[in-house]
């Protein structure tokens, strides 16, 4: 008789097959293997978290050691910073060209997973971007924080770098586990970049779990030019983030210019947040924003404005740009498209 497992009472006599014992054995060993596999995954995840912690704390030596423990063979691609990174970051085109010709790895990564292309875009150096692209650099690598060359270029406000990346087929919309290029441009008030992204087909209603829609971002940071660009492109003026519309955000931020633009595009002044408060309720007594909202509350929009809003609503954000194909007088087309709104 052979026993299996501590006190399990499992037994098999020689020359005798017991199906129940076979099933119990399979379950027993499968459980052990699964536990070992989960333990290994837990160890790797823990090491990755420690590595990220040390990268954030600027302790690159320990972060690099942990990475070696995880992956055994670093192969040079996760060393700290290469000369190629520094040349791209500083916009040293001639030095960068020389390093590339000497065979430097254009896809070398730092501990934060920065490539030279990240550095070139973060510094706003289109000349360096062209050289790296021509040398076969990966166009959409992701850093440890989810940044791509495009998000860095948008944050920097480098229209040239943004156009180079878009012209090489990079999507203006965020990928999985990456930051949103449009949010990065909006967060820093880069209205020229916002316009380029919209022209490239960026989704103006992309939602970020932390910041909400791009419209929420620009309203909270008081960028009226960006607000108008997004709304003109068809962004939903009453989109909500935790029950707050853009008008709620602008009212709290105390931005008269942004509030005026939102109202001109039909923002609902009676929308209520999670606390059942209207935008007017969130303003400071005697403030300019409170005066604007109080006046609009007592004076509804005129009929021509209501017709414009209705036309835009029926067309939707995807088709509003085709207003010029309608049989309308040019002046009326411009009115519907807000081409002369200031």
pLDDT of residue 13: 52
Question: Is 81-203 in CATH node 3.40.190.80?
Answer: no
Q: Do domains 81-203 and 301-342 have the same CATH topology?
A: no
Q: Judge contact between 8 and 24, C-beta under 8 A.
A: yes
pLDDT of residue 187: 94
pLDDT of residue 302: 87
5: pLDDT strictly greater than 60: no
Q: What is the DSSP letter of 212?
A: B
325 or 163, greater pLDDT: 163
49 band by pLDDT with thresholds 50, 70 and 90: low
* pTM of the predicted model as reported, rounded to 2 decimal places: 0.73
141 band by pLDDT with thresholds 50, 70 and 90: very high
Q: What percent of the chain has pLDDT over 70?
A: 84
CA nearest 214: which of 233, 253, 187?
Answer: 187
pLDDT of residue 56: 47
30: pLDDT strictly greater than 70: yes
* Annotated domain spans of the chain: 18-74, 81-203, 301-342
> Which residue carries 């912690």 as its tokens?
53
CATH number of 301-342: 1.10.750
pLDDT of residue 59: 53
Q: Judge contact between 302 and 308, C-beta under 8 A.
A: no
Q: Is 72 helix (H, G, I), strand (E, B) or coil?
A: coil
Residues 6+ apart with CB under 8 A from 98: none
């Amino acid at each position: 008789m052979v026993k299996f497992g501590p006190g399990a009472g499992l037994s098999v006599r020689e020359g005798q097959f017991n199906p129940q014992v076979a099933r119990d054995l399979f379950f027993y060993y499968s459980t052990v293997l699964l536990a070992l596999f989960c333990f290994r995954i837990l160890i790797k995840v823990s090491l990755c978290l420690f590595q990220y912690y040390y990268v954030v704390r600027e302790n690159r030596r320990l972060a690099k050691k942990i990475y070696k423990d995880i992956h055994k063979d670093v192969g040079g691609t996760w060393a700290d910073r290469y000369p190629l990174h520094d040349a791209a970051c500083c916009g040293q085109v001639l030095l960068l060209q020389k390093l590339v010709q000497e065979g430097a790895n254009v896809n070398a990564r730092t501990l934060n997973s920065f490539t030279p292309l990240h550095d070139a875009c973060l510094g706003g150096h289109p000349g360096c971007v062209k050289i790296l692209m021509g040398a076969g650099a990966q166009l959409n690598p992701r850093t440890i924080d989810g940044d791509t060359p495009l998000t860095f270029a948008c944050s920097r406000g480098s229209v040239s770098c943004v156009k180079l990346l878009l012209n090489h087929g990079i999507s203006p919309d965020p990928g999985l586990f990456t930051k949103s290029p449009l949010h990065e441009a909006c967060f820093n008030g880069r209205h020229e970049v916002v316009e380029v992204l919209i022209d490239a087909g960026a989704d103006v209603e992309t939602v970020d779990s932390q910041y909400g829609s791009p419209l929420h971002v620009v309203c909270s940071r008081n960028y009226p030019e960006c607000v108008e660009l997004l709304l003109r492109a068809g962004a939903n003026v009453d989109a909500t983030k935790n029950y707050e519309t853009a008008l709620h955000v602008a009212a709290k931020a105390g931005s008269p210019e942004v509030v005026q633009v939102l109202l001109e595009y039909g923002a609902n002044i009676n929308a209520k947040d999670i606390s059942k408060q209207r935008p007017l309720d969130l303003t400071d007594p005697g403030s300019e924003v409170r005066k604007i909202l109080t006046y609009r509350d007592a004076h509804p929009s005129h009929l021509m404005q209501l017709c414009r809003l209705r036309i835009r609503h029926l067309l939707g954000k995807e088709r509003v740009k085709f207003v010029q194909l309608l049989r309308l007088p040019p002046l009326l087309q411009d009115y519907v498209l807000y081409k002369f709104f200031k």
